[in-house]
Each structure stands twice: as C-alpha cells, then as structure tokens.
C-alpha cells in the first residue's frame, strides 16, 4: 500500500517535471492560440448596439419664443371670449357670415415651445425617407453590392426601418429609464453611424424650420381669407338691410300719401287723432301709435285723423332725408363690426413677433438636437479582452495536454 502511494507521488512529480521540461512547447502552443484569436477578432466586423439621446432646446432658447407665445395666447383667448358677443351684437342668424367667421378658428396659431418642437422633431425622424436620403449621400451602403436600383432602394428602406425612435423611460437595449427620446440602432461602423446622425440632425432641423415658416404663412393666408369673406358678407348684409329699409320707406310714402288724400277729402288739417283715443288705456294708446308709425307693418286705417298737415310734413321729411343709416335697426352694429375687422392689426403684430423668433432670424435653428457625439455603443459580440483571456487558457490547456500525451507515448515506446 505504501509502495502504491510512493509510485503515485512519483507520477505527480513526473508530470510536473514533464511540464517544466516542455514549458517552451506549452508557451508556443499558448502563443499560437492567442495569435489566432487576436487575428480573428481583428478581422471580425464588430456589431454595436447604439443609444443616442434627442435633447430638447434649452430654456434660454425657448425664452426667445416668449413674446410670440404670449401674444398668441392673448389674441386667441380674446377672440374666444368675444366670439358669441360679436355674433349677437350683429344680430345675424345662421348665415354665411357665421360659417366663415374668422373668430371660429378652423386653424390655430400654436405656441412654440420645447415640448411642441421635440414632438415635431420626433415625427420628422419617424419618416424613414430622411434617413434614406442621408444614407444615399454618405454612401452608407455601397450601391455596387446590388444588381439594380430597386434592390438598392429596398435595402436602404429596410435598414432605415430598423432605426427605432424610442420615447423616454423605455430603453430597449439597456432596460433602464431614459429622460429623453432616443434613437436606437445596431451598426458595425461607429464613425459612419455618428456621421449619419450628424447629417440627419442638420437636415431634420432645416426641414422643420422650413415647415414651420410655411405653416405660419398658410395660417396667416387662411386667416386673411376668412376676414375677407367676413367683410364681403358684412357688405352684402349691410346692402340688403339698406335695400330693405328703402323699400319700407317707399311703402310708407305710398301709405302716407293715401292717408293725406283722405284727410284732405275730409278736411282734417289738424291732429284729431289724440283726442279721439284719449279714452284708450295709456299703454294701448302708445302701442297703437308705435305700430302705426313702424315701417313694414300693417298700417293703421285711421292714421288720416292726425291731419294732412302732420302727414304731409312726415312725407316731406322722408323724401328729403339724405342719410338713412341712422334709422336702420342693427346697421350700426354691422358697421362697427366691419370697421373693427378693417382696423384689426393683430395679424401684422403676430407676423412681426414671429419674424423675431429663431425660426425666421436664425441660421442655426434647432427644434431639438441629436446628441451624436455622446452616442453609447455596446459591442454585441462581447469583450475582446475576455476572448483573448479565454484563448490563453485554452492554449495553455492544450499545450499541457499535448506534452503529457507525448511523454506517455515515449515511455510506452
């Protein structure tokens, strides 16, 4: 038993001696394993998971829109508050004037702030065509690798569609919360991806600047159209009211002439009307007088009793009246409404304030910013150091295994 243990101890010492004697062989095998792994890792194309934040504009930049935003809020609120009052004062029913009212705002002059701008920016990025166009400019994938333009365009579309615009607090790659919107993508070329993001950032902001200018221009144009329609309808309404009043006056003159003829026939020169109706209750009497003098209603058949002198004087006044406008019910409210629209310079003020915002007066406008320089990269194929460490351990294992097998075969031989 002691002999067996002695032999086993001798075998362990022999193994150690064998390893030591062949240490250069083991080192060579380990070195070869390391070199092969290093060459493989060097020639292998890396794959990176990327996360790039989309930052909103700063508070200082947002402050440049303050005057415009405050005027928009003030103007829109004022219009909402007076909308019903204006329609009631004009005294119009459901007409084309109401339907085209500039106060009803089928469009909006919206506030420009960091929240709205970053949502516009996000929507612009969700349009894959922006990425596709920039990929073409940068030759992000080589055209020569495809047989025809159709295959090339399809490859670009497929690649662009794999770019994810992720909302805050939903990081798909790191499973952690993010305070901002982000762009997430998998790439094998860090520099090319950063260059693409830089160009997309420039193009997106330029397009948004142009879109906002056009949107404001269209809103102003449409607002002016509504005002012009409203003015046109006011003119028509005023003209119709005046025509209606003139017709009522003409009818009144015919009636008065008939009553004058009756009074002359009966030789009633003075007013006997009041004495005849003194017995009527006061309210009834005044109502009768009012109705008998109101144009456009059924005239009193006894008006001749006021005497032809009074009647003919009324005829004379009506014929010699130069301006009927003061006597037309509701006309003054319509004229005030028309003059208010003509004198309203709120659009010009809004245009002036809009032109002072960065959208118009800045060559470096930003709705938001892609933080391409601070993109986070994670190699999907693991750490190179880990691979090299494993290659050393594997080489060491096979080196020892090789020299021990070689030594055992020599002993048997």
The overall longest dimension of the chain from CA atoms, in Å, is 170
Q: How far apart are CA 83 and CA 79, in angstroms?
A: 6
**For residue 153, what are the contacts with CB-CB under 8 A and spacing of at least 6?**
132
Tally the residues of the chain: 413
- With CA atoms as reference, report the closest residue to 193 among 169, 149, 159: 159
CA 222 to chain centroid, in Å, comes to: 17
β partners of residue 164: 184
Q: How far apart are CA 205 and CA 149, in angstroms?
A: 29
| pLDDT digit string (tens) for the chain, length 413 residues | 444 444 444 467 777 777 887 888 888 888 888 888 777 767 667 788 999 999 999 999 999 999 999 998 888 654 544 444 444 333 333 333 233 333 334 346 788 999 999 999 999 999 889 999 999 999 999 888 888 999 999 999 999 999 999 988 755 555 555 678 999 999 988 999 999 999 999 999 999 999 999 999 998 999 999 999 999 999 999 999 999 998 998 999 999 999 989 988 998 888 766 555 544 444 444 454 445 444 444 467 778 888 888 888 989 998 888 887 888 888 889 999 999 999 989 899 999 999 999 999 888 999 999 999 999 988 776 667 777 788 888 888 888 887 878 777 777 76
- With CA atoms as reference, report the closest residue to 361 among 199, 218, 212: 212
pLDDT score at 3: 46
Q: How far apart are CA 250 and CA 324, in angstroms?
A: 12
pLDDT score at 381: 65
Q: How far apart are CA 247 and CA 253, in angstroms?
A: 10
pLDDT score at 277: 53
pLDDT score at 75: 81
* Cα→Cα distances 269→229, 299, 329, Å: 53, 20, 32
| Residue listed under structure tokens 């101890």 | 9
If you ran DSSP here, which 8-state letter would residue 85 be given?
A: H
pTM of the full structure: 0.67
Q: Which helix (H) or strand (E) holds 52?
A: strand 48-56
Structure tokens at 216: 């404001």
| Residue listed under structure tokens 């295959």 | 151
Structure tokens at 312: 């003919």
Domains and CATH numbers, the chain: 1-44+383-413 (no CATH), 46-237+346-380 (3.30.1890), 243-339 (no CATH)
* Cα→Cα distances 156→46, 149, 181, Å: 20, 10, 24
pLDDT score at 39: 77
Residue 288, classed as helix, strand or coil, is helix
Long-range contacts of 343-351, Cβ-Cβ distance < 8 Å, separation of 24 or more: 344/227, 346/75, 347/220, 347/223, 347/224, 349/71, 350/68, 350/71, 350/72, 350/75, 350/109, 350/220, 351/220
Q: How far apart are CA 310 and CA 331, in angstroms?
A: 28
If you ran DSSP here, which 8-state letter would residue 327 be given?
A: G
Q: Which helix (H) or strand (E) holds 226?
A: helix 190-265
- With CA atoms as reference, report the closest residue to 53 among 401, 389, 388, 368: 368
Residue 166, classed as helix, strand or coil, is strand
Q: How far apart are CA 372 and CA 386, in angstroms?
A: 28
Q: Are 75 and 346 in contact (CB under 8 A)?
A: yes
pLDDT score at 390: 85
139: left (phi over 0), alpha (psi -120 to 50) or beta: left
CB atoms within 10 A of CB 150: 9
């Amino acid at each position: 038993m002691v002999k067996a243990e002695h032999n086993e101890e001798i075998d362990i010492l022999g193994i150690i001696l064998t390893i030591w004697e062949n240490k250069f062989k083991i080192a060579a095998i380990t070195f070869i394993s390391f070199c092969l792994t290093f060459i493989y890792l060097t020639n292998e194309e890396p794959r990176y998971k990327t996360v790039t934040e989309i930052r909103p504009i700063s508070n200082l930049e947002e402050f440049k829109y303050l005057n415009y935003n405050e005027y928009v809020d003030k103007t829109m609120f004022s219009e909402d508050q007076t909308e019903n009052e204006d329609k009631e004062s004009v005294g119009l029913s459901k007409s084309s004037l109401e339907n085209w009212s500039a106060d009803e705002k089928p469009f909006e002059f919206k506030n420009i702030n960091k929240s709205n701008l970053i949502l516009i920016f996000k929507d612009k990025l969700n349009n894959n065509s922006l990425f596709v166009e920039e990929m073409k400019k940068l030759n992000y994938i080589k055209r020569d690798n495809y047989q025809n333009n159709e295959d090339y365009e399809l490859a670009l579309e497929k690649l662009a569609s794999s770019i994810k615009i992720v909302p805050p607090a939903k990081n798909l790659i790191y499973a952690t919360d993010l305070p901002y919107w982000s762009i997430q993508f998998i790439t094998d070329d860090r520099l090319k991806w950063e260059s693409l993001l830089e160009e997309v950032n420039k193009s997106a902001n330029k397009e948004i600047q142009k879109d906002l200018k056009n949107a404001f221009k269209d809103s102003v144009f449409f607002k002016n159209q509504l005002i012009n329609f409203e003015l046109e309808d006011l003119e028509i309404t005023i003209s119709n009211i005046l025509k209606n009043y003139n017709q009522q006056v003409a009818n009144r003159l015919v009636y008065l002439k008939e009553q004058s003829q009756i009074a002359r026939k009966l030789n009633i020169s003075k007013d006997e009307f009041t004495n005849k109706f003194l017995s009527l209750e006061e309210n009834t009497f005044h109502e009768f007088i009012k109705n008998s003098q109101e144009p456009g209603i059924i005239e009193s058949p006894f008006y001749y009793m006021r005497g032809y002198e009074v009647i003919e004087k009324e005829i004379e006044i009506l014929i010699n009246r130069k301006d009927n406008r003061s006597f037309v019910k509701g006309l003054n409210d319509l004229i005030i409404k028309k003059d208010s629209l003509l004198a309203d310079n709120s659009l010009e003020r809004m245009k002036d304030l809009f032109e002072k915002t960065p959208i118009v007066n800045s060559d470096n406008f930003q709705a938001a910013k892609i933080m391409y320089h601070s993109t986070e990269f994670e190699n999907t194929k693991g750490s190179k150091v880990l691979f090299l460490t494993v290659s050393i351990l594997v080489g060491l294992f096979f080196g020892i295994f090789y020299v021990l097998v070689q030594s055992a075969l020599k002993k048997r031989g």
